[in-house]
Amino acid sequence: MSKAIVVFSGGQDSTTCLIQAMTEYDEVHAITFDYGQRHRQEIEIAQSLAKQLNIASHKVMDVSLLNELAISALTRDSIPVSHELMENGLPSTFVPGRNILFLTLAGIYAYQLGCDAIITGVCETDFSGYPDCRDEFIKSMQQSLALGMDKPLKIVTPLMWLNKAETWALADKYHSLSLVTEETLTCYNGIKGSGCGDCPACLLRQRGLDDYLSNKSTVMASLESKQ
């Protein structure tokens, strides 16, 4: 029996990955991390979606220690979500060490569950400037987890080389376009669905959706060529 665990935030990307995983693995689990994030509604949405999709299990893990260590617009209400990069060239929403911690904990949990793969929705094509979303980083983490636990655990990144329009096409491929459009939370200001319409996450999401809806056949063909 093939088993996978999805790092699940309740957003567009991880929800699309979860839906795809349900067609590719016999048993699918999800793990959501509560790190005191700015838009805490994502935890409730992740729980709701996990129940709606009827996955094998959904674990919400308290990792509030990350909030103490990582200063970011997503961990501090006093830091505004900005369209401008910080002095270090990174977005204000970058949470240093987040994916390192998440993938490490997901790997430990995957070991307990007997999972073959960890699935995460990181993407280098349309990424928001986060260094821990790069393919090079993922490959490094996969090697470290396999060495550290002496288990051939694979980190799967279905969206790594997709642009946002192709990610929408992937949701549509699995007949879940409406669910992802209406029930997920991507907005940095914590507004479900189409969001606030102004933050960087909402703008990227909306541009991708507009591109897909205006060029469905072309975008779907591009998606198929990458799979």
Question: Residue 13, annotated ligand binder?
Answer: yes
Cα–Cα distance between 105 and 223 in angstroms, integer? 31
Question: Residue 16, annotated ligand binder?
Answer: yes
Output DSSP code: residue 35: S
Cα–Cα distance between 188 and 197 in angstroms, integer? 10
Task: Output the six-digit token pair for 78.
Answer: 């006093």
Cα–Cα distance between 227 and 217 in angstroms, integer? 16
Question: Residue 8, annotated ligand binder?
Answer: yes
Phi, psi of 60 (to 5 degrees): -105, 120
Q: 201 by DSSP, 3-state: which?
A: helix
Question: Residue 9, annotated ligand binder?
Answer: yes
Question: Residue 202, annotated ligand binder?
Answer: yes
Question: Residue 194, annotated ligand binder?
Answer: no
To 10 degrees, what angle do helices 200-214 and 216-226 make? 110
Question: Residue 115, annotated ligand binder?
Answer: no
Cα–Cα distance between 91 and 138 in angstroms, integer? 20
Question: Residue 18, annotated ligand binder?
Answer: yes
Task: Output the six-digit token pair for 149.
Answer: 């636990």
Question: Residue 11, annotated ligand binder?
Answer: yes
Give the annotated binding-site residues for Zn(2+).
Answer: 187, 196, 199, 202
Give the annotated binding-site residues for ATP.
Answer: 8-18
Give the annotated binding-site residues.
Answer: 8-18, 187, 196, 199, 202
